[in-house]
């Protein structure tokens, strides 16, 4: 029986080979081939590792790391609060956090523009109270805000799901044995929610790292992230080979985080829903 059942995965296996594995091989092919002669070359990678590209890679790493940390700091307490709600109420509240995702991603980001602009809503409110106007838009701050805003649900939900599955009696037992709140978090809550945290970190870090829309719309294109560089190689300079080489470099980071994820979240407990 068992042998037969595994064939249920066959359609997906074929699909994954065709639409996940082969496209990745195509990208690698483009990355190692010269645009003029279609012969093997490393020149695309030499180009990809130019100082200005490394700068954008480092900037992307930095901004997405900061966003991930902020997301984690915001999301963990929220997930704890949510997980203590009654079952019925909590499912509603969780949906409330998913609801913004049903509004279009671009419109939401553009709405932030309206909020942050020099003559925007926030500065309008500040001016009303005779406070000094802030220079918010087109700064790294605005980009980080955009990342945190767009990807926060991906941090909240996995942590919430892990906390929900946690047996409350473990915490009670610790408290009975004399542990204070801090110790309970340190020894029980956080270690047990590691799968959710790790899954949340990857789900926030990777999209922040590769985004180009957020840095375009909220950063005024003044801050070139690695996603912008790749997008420009494909869209503005039509140099697909250099773009592929950059994508291939980006994949290294992706595989590293996959390894990280597999190590800490073996059973896929840190799911989104």
Q: CA separation (Å) from 231 to 58, 59, 191, 239, 264?
A: 17, 16, 39, 10, 32
Quick one: which of 70, 110, 134, 192 contacts another protein (CB under 8 A)? 110
Quick one: which of 45, 141, 240, 264 contacts another protein (CB under 8 A)? 240
Q: Binding string to another protein for residues 63 to 102, with x set by CB under 8 A, is what?
A: -----------x--xx--x------x--xx--xxxxxxxx
Residue 33 main-chain phi, psi, to 5 deg: -120, 140
Count of residues that bind another protein according to CB under 8 A: 108
Stretch that binds another protein, among 107-115, 125-133, 168-176, 182-190 (CB under 8 A): 107-115
Restricting to residues 37-66, name those near another protein by CB under 8 A.
50, 52-53, 55-56, 59
Q: CA angle, corner 80, sides to 75 and 85, nearest 5? A: 125
218 neighbors 105 (Cβ within 8 angstroms): no
Stretch that binds another protein, among 126-134, 166-174, 186-194, 236-244 (CB under 8 A): 236-244
Stretch that binds another protein, among 6-14, 125-133, 167-175, 185-193 (CB under 8 A): 6-14
Q: CA angle, corner 201, sides to 231 and 51, nearest 5? A: 40
> How many residues are there in the chain?
273
Nearest distance from C-beta of residue 42 to another protein, angstroms: 16
Question: How many other β-carbons are positioned within 10 Å of the β-carbon of residue 44?
Answer: 24
Restricting to residues 200-219, name those near another protein by CB under 8 A.
202-203, 206-207, 209-210, 212-213, 219
CA gap 199, 221 in Å, rounded: 30
Tokens of 180: 């204070």
Nearest distance from C-beta of residue 39 to another protein, angstroms: 16
């Amino acid at each position: 029986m068992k042998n037969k059942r595994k064939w249920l995965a066959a359609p997906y296996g074929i699909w994954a080979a065709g639409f996940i594995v082969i496209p990745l091989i195509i990208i690698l092919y483009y990355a190692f081939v010269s645009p003029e002669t279609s012969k093997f070359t490393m020149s695309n990678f030499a180009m990809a590792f130019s100082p200005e590209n490394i700068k954008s890679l480092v900037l992307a790493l930095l901004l997405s790391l900061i966003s991930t940390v902020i997301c984690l700091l915001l999301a963990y307490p929220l997930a704890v609060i949510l997980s203590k709600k009654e079952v019925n109420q909590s499912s509603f509240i969780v949906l409330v956090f998913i609801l913004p995702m049903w509004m279009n991603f671009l419109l939401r980001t553009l709405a932030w523009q309206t909020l942050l602009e020099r003559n925007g809503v926030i500065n309008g409110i500040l001016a009303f109270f005779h406070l000094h106007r802030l220079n918010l838009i087109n700064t790294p701050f605005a980009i980080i805000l955009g990342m945190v805003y767009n990807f926060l649900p991906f941090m909240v939900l996995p942590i919430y799901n892990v906390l929900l599955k946690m047996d409350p009696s473990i915490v009670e037992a610790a408290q009975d044995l004399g542990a204070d709140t801090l110790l309970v978090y340190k020894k029980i809550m956080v270690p047990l929610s590691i799968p959710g945290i790790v899954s949340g970190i990857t789900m926030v870090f990777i999209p922040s790292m590769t985004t180009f829309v957020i840095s375009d719309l909220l950063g005024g294109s003044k801050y070139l992230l690695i996603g912008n560089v790749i997008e420009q190689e494909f869209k503005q300079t039509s140099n697909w080979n250099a773009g592929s080489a950059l994508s291939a470099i980006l994949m290294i980071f992706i595989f590293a985080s996959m390894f990280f994820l597999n190590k800490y979240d073996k059973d896929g407990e840190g799911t989104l829903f």
